[in-house]
Amino acid sequence: QKEVEQNSGPLSVPEGAIASLNCTYSDRGSQSFFWYRQYSGKSPELIMFIYSNGDKEDGRFTAQLNKASQYVSLLIRDSQPSDSATYLCAVRPGGSYIPTFGRGTSLIVHP
Amino acid sequence: DAGITQSPRHKVTETGTPVTLRCHQTENHRYMYWYRQDPGHGLRLIHYSYGVKDTDKGEVSDGYSVSRSKTEDFLLTLESATSSQTSVYFCAISGTESSYEQYFGPGTRLTVT
């Protein structure tokens, strides 16, 4: 059973701070890694994907991948109340095109 | 939105009745998926399709069937709805074997009374 683990939270950060969301996975052969944002009552929205070790930046978001340690992180700089949502990590195992989803981390950004 | 619609968006039905949910895409993506999302369980894959008339089961397929007669449409049928199938259902699509990102539809909230 390939697993993707996330702390359910909630993670509470003040406005303007850096929010750090973490995800670990069990399949060492995993190839692709995704972060989705899901607002309450809405569908998951893809915000970042990363395939190679290292960092990938897109605006205020940075995805960090460490395959040796089997974790992927999402950093949100200058957090805003509008970033308050549940963040889902998804990992595509080797040999499959179907990702495994974590249960998500709830992020609360308070003014 | 990635050109994905789901219908109906909300439905209330009675136990024992059949229900069909529709997912329609305008992206010409090869792969389509049905998930359900419940508190405490996250997203769980019900069925998926890798082409017209090509489908397979996911982790929670009991009580569900699917059909895909056209690239753009993927139907999910609850053969005889039960209260345990009350959930939010999401359709997702992905493109090619070199593009693994999934994009989700707006969801259908189904209540079985």
User: pLDDT, tens digit, for every residue of B47-80?
Assistant: 999 999 999 999 999 999 999 999 999 999 999 9
Picking from B88, B78, B86, B91, the residue whose alpha carbon sits closest to that of residue B108 is: B88
For the record, the structure tokens of B92 come out as 């997702």
3-class DSSP assignment, residue B38 = strand
- Poorest-pLDDT segment among A29-33, B78-82, B108-112: A29-33
Average pLDDT over residues B86-108: 90
How many C-beta neighbours within 10 Å does residue B16 have?
9
> Is A97 within 8 Å of B90 when comparing Cβ atoms?
no
Q: Please tell me the predicted confidence (pLDDT) of residue A53.
A: 87
d(CA A32, CA B90): 21
Bridge partner list, B22 = B7, B75
B3 contacts B104 by C-beta, under 8 angstroms = no
Res. B95 pLDDT band, cuts 50 70 90: confident
DSSP letter, residue B62: T
Residue among B101, B103, B109 with most chain A CBs within 10 A, to mutate = B101
Average pLDDT over residues B80-98: 91
User: What is the share, in percent, of chain A residues with pLDDT greater than 70?
Assistant: 99
> Is B107 within 8 Å of A42 when comparing Cβ atoms?
yes
d(CA A65, CA B38): 28
Res. B3 pLDDT band, cuts 50 70 90: very high
User: By a Cβ cutoff of 8 Å, what residues of chain A touch chain B?
Assistant: 31-32, 34, 36, 42-46, 49, 88, 90, 92, 97-99, 101-104
Residue B108 in contact with partner chain A when CB distance is under 8 A: no
d(CA A6, CA A46): 17
3-class DSSP assignment, residue A82 = helix
> Is B100 within 8 Å of A42 when comparing Cβ atoms?
no
Window 36-65 of B, Cβ < 8 Å to A: 40-43, 45, 48, 50, 58
Task: Tell me which residue in A32, A43, A97 faces B105 most closely, judged by beta carbons.
Answer: A43
> Is B102 within 8 Å of A103 when comparing Cβ atoms?
no
> Is A43 within 8 Å of B48 when comparing Cβ atoms?
no
B37: buried, middle or exposed (CB in 10 Å: 19+, 13-18, 0-12)?
buried
pLDDT for residue A12 is more than 90: yes
Residue B103 in contact with partner chain A when CB distance is under 8 A: yes
d(CA B48, CA B91): 9
Q: Please tell me the predicted confidence (pLDDT) of residue B5.
A: 97
Q: Please tell me the predicted confidence (pLDDT) of residue B1.
A: 55
DSSP letter, residue A95: T
- Name every chain A residue with its beta carbon within 8 A of the beta carbon of B94: 97
pLDDT for residue A91 is more than 90: yes
The phi, psi pair for B5, rounded to 5°, reads -125, 150
Res. B40 pLDDT band, cuts 50 70 90: confident
Chain B: residue whose CA lies nearest to A4: B42
